[in-house]
Amino acid sequence: MSRNEAKTRKELVDPKLKNAGWLDHDWQVDPEYKITAGRIHFDGKSATRTKPVYADYLLRYSSSLAIAVVEVKAEEKHYLEGERQAKDYARKLGLWFAYSTNGHEIEFFNLKAGTQTKVDQFHGPEELWQMYLKESGLDQSPEKQKALIQDYYDESGIGQRRKPRYYQEKAVNKALEAILGGRNRVLITMATGTGKTFTSIQLVYKLWKAKEKKKILFIVDRNLLADQAFADFDAAMDKDACYRLKPEEKEWPLGRDLYFGIYQSLVGADDDEEAGKKGKPDRFKEFPPDYFDLIVIDEAHRGARRSQDGKETSSWFKLLEYFKSATQVGLTATPKRDESNDTYAHFKEPVVVYSLKDGIQDGYLAPYIIKRVTSNIDALGYRPDRTDIVDVRGKKLEIKDYLTPDFERQLSIPQRTRAFAYHLLRHLFSTDPLGKTLVFCLNQEHALDMAKYCREAFAQYKIKYGLTDYKGDYAVRITGDDKDNDGKYPDLEKYKNLDSYQPIIVTTSKLLTTGVDVKNIKNVVIFRNVGSMVEFKQIIGRGTRTYEPQDRTKEKLGFFILEYANYSTQLFNDPEWDDEAQDFIDEGALIVEKPEAEETDISEAPVPVTEKEKEEEGVDEGSGVYIEPEPEVINHIKYRMSEDFLSGRIVMAAESIALTGPDGKPMSTDEFILYQSNILKDQFNSLADLNLIWKDQKKRKEFQESVNDLGINLGALTQIFFEKHKMRSVDTLDILVNLLFGENYITKEERIEKAKKLHPEVFHFNDLKKDAFLSDLLKIYTEMEYHPLNFSKELWQVPQMKKYGEFQGVREIFGGTDGIKQFVEDIQLALYDERVVA
């Protein structure tokens, strides 16, 4: 009897790997190496994962340097059956070498050279290493190789157990190859939530421990990150090797190896021609220009702002120019490439790109559902119907048409904000009333109003839905004006606590677009138009992290984007969206309202770029986060109406839903249905084929268990069906029939009546106990909303079944095992007869 794949690996492949020298150390081989976590399917209430992708073996030359993939098939299969997987996995992991084998024959692929060769045995570690050095063109001296093979920083000393994911390893190794190959400007592009800082820590650690780079400056844009990076390294490095650059210190010492600081502490206005005067000094000049041989720049799209013609630069760029002899590594989730702001002009093309699409497809980032909502006055505009209407200041309201771009800029109508707040609370109570929510408002006053009306709505809904035991502030504003006497944001600290449910809703304007990494944010609300792609990515990034604690009730695997009266999510359609480098940005096709002059785009926050920009934006030296301008700078609201103005006259006029498509971009419900229909039709040639599956409970269960791996999201389809038809007493079969095959549906009650006419013998026993049981069974079926009739353990536990003695009692009613078995088969065939149709 031939061996299956597992036995082939154990009895045939393992000995061959051992003979080649691959099992001398426990780190040399990663068996069943987990590449992806399994894409998440999110329907708005629950989430499931597809099966993760595993490579049979990942071979490592050192514990931190993967070098080849081995794909194994059962010994009875052709040894090249694993070729496609081996190559695909190697490319995904950024490797050049791969093997396909059935345990008897072995094929070797060199993807860099484009060759494949049948070999008698696996190459040994040193053989593959020499091939790698040859293909890479790197200096083959041991000194240059040391950084590549240096172990990763082990976090167990500080109580963590993180291991780099495949794309993080890929980023580290591709950056090392570039640096050791002589490249002095290196860019790593990774989506928000994929671990840029952790990746950079590993890169720096390897270079420093190998003594390839000895003096290192680690620059971030938030004190929180600088403190965390300093703490991580300080635990691993030699005593006093690390130094945290603090602005309050008069002098910074020379002689340390790793310095950690924020841009705001390093860059001032010294010798700034635009400033016209000497102000805060450039403290980076306390170090000689050649002092550092490595600079790591987090959020590099801010610091490396240089136009393509080299004439316009950010104030931070002078730091990079000053230390131009150093190798500079930039990390960003949002590279910019337009005529006035070109990250690539400085760093060149990224050595690795891991986009939001990649993260969603791999299951490391959360998918989203978009709800686009607008009110009647946003859809139609508002025009005063009298000449004597005055605002709260007694100012007479000008007679003109007020449209969405005017609201909260020229005209503030609290009732409009209130209507959206009540919509938000309805959404929360229909999904998760304790799901953390972040609302981006137009300005600080707008955020204050939104928080107030969310609390008001919550006070009503918590009584209606029985959440009366909630204590504390449900909704608060957190903006630059909301610090305590110590300069901290106490509500922000509570919000970031993953175990805290106070507050649930935070309203802001620009303060929290960056710097707040709260894994369990379930709703991102955009209540202002966002025209900047960088800012849009940062806002969406607040929700993309997954959270999977041991307590599954607190799990977060998907999130909502609620778009209130704006067009921001149309940026998903922009070619720049998914981190693909573009030669230019063309937003001409986007329907995005142009901001008023006072709403100058300041998405480059938290760091000022020019003196002019400093008048419009600011940075908190203590926290390193963006501070909104004072209200009088941006709030030129002409009219502020009373709270009862237009009371009862503002309603939600339209709401649409979009779901995450296979490319990580949103799909309308019609597009999603077509996409799902094509998947289903690949599995079933006709509706009759689906009916055959549905008649057989075992096959139906297998299908339902496999839908996630097929890419079919039954939960989302069910939700779409309900939104379209407002009907719940429908079998899953009819949802698929209606949405994916375009046929009319019938309710469960109609299905039962049609089945009775076609199969009367199945529904009439002339036996009181059997008839009573059947009546209760069909009642359970109709009450189970969308579920098909499944004879499972759960069925026998419901109260209606317990009165019959659960399964044992029902079996006796039908005269034993054969009798109940025949009944189950007959009722399934009758209910799901292909003639039972609308």
- How do the domains of the chain map onto residue ranges? 5-37+44-137, 143-354, 365-640, 670-838
What's the per-residue H, E or C state across 640-666?
A: ECCCCCCCCCCCEEEEEEEEECCCCCE
Pairing of strands 216-220, 258-262: parallel
Asked: is 365-640 a CATH 3.40.50.300 domain? The reply is: yes
Give CATH for domain 143-354: 3.40.50.300
Pairing of strands 337-338, 341-342: antiparallel
**Confidence check: pLDDT of 585 > 70:** no
pLDDT tens digit string along 307-335? 455 555 566 778 999 999 999 999 988 76
User: Do you find a cis peptide bond into 606, omega within 30 degrees of 0?
Assistant: yes
Arithmetic mean of pLDDT, 447-466: 94
Arithmetic mean of pLDDT, 368-393: 94
The whole-number pLDDT of residue 510 equals 76
The whole-number pLDDT of residue 354 equals 95
CA within 13 Å, CB half, 207: 28
Most confident segment among 266-275, 373-382, 525-534 = 373-382
The whole-number pLDDT of residue 163 equals 87
The whole-number pLDDT of residue 594 equals 28
- Contact between 781 and 789 (Cβ < 8 Å): yes
- Mean residue pLDDT of the chain comes to 85
- Tell me which residue of 648, 560, 511 sits closest to 373, measured CA to CA: 560
**Confidence check: pLDDT of 635 > 70:** no
**pLDDT-derived band of residue 303, with 50, 70 and 90 as boundaries?**
low
pLDDT tens digit string along 232-274? 777 767 788 899 998 888 899 998 999 998 888 898 765 444 4
Distance CA(524)–CA(440), nearest Å, equals 8
Q: Identify which has the larger pLDDT, 25 or 348.
A: 25
Q: Identify which has the larger pLDDT, 116 or 155.
A: 116
Q: Identify which has the larger pLDDT, 373 or 153.
A: 373
**Confidence check: pLDDT of 212 > 70:** yes
The whole-number pLDDT of residue 658 equals 85
Distance CA(242)–CA(819), nearest Å, equals 77
pLDDT tens digit string along 670-700? 888 998 999 888 888 888 889 899 999 999 9
Q: Report, in this order, helix, strand and coil percent for the chain, each rounded to 5.
A: 40, 15, 45
pLDDT tens digit string along 117-131? 999 999 999 999 999
**pLDDT-derived band of residue 52, with 50, 70 and 90 as boundaries?**
very high
Arithmetic mean of pLDDT, 148-160: 75
Q: What percent of the chain has pLDDT over 90?
A: 57
Task: State the DSSP string of 230-253.
Answer: HHHHHHHS-TT-EEE--TT-S-PP
CA within 13 Å, CB half, 765: 15
The whole-number pLDDT of residue 604 equals 30
**pLDDT-derived band of residue 341, with 50, 70 and 90 as boundaries?**
low
**pLDDT-derived band of residue 583, with 50, 70 and 90 as boundaries?**
very low
Arithmetic mean of pLDDT, 172-177: 97
- Secondary structure (3-state) at 92: helix
**Confidence check: pLDDT of 276 > 70:** no
Q: Identify which has the larger pLDDT, 213 or 586.
A: 213
How is residue 455 written in tokens?
A: 């609390």
Distance CA(360)–CA(663), nearest Å, equals 9
Long-range contacts of 461-464 (CB under 8 A, 24+ apart): 461/425, 461/426, 461/429, 461/433, 462/433
Range name among 139-143, 159-163, 753-757 with the lowest pLDDT average = 159-163
How is residue 345 written in tokens?
A: 């002009």
Q: Which class is 5-37+44-137 in CATH?
A: alpha beta
Pairing of strands 106-110, 97-101: antiparallel
Backbone angles phi, psi at 626, to 5 degrees: -65, 135
Give bridge partners of residue 243 from the DSSP assignment.
Answer: 259
- Contact between 527 and 446 (Cβ < 8 Å): yes
Do the domains 365-640 and 143-354 match in fold?
Answer: yes
**pLDDT-derived band of residue 524, with 50, 70 and 90 as boundaries?**
very high
The whole-number pLDDT of residue 515 equals 58
The whole-number pLDDT of residue 237 equals 74
pLDDT tens digit string along 757-780? 999 999 999 889 999 999 999 999
**pLDDT-derived band of residue 277, with 50, 70 and 90 as boundaries?**
very low
The whole-number pLDDT of residue 369 equals 92
Range name among 401-410, 575-584, 653-662, 684-693 with the lowest pLDDT average = 575-584
The whole-number pLDDT of residue 668 equals 86
Most confident segment among 263-272, 296-305, 486-495, 776-785 = 776-785
pLDDT tens digit string along 550-565? 988 899 999 999 999 9
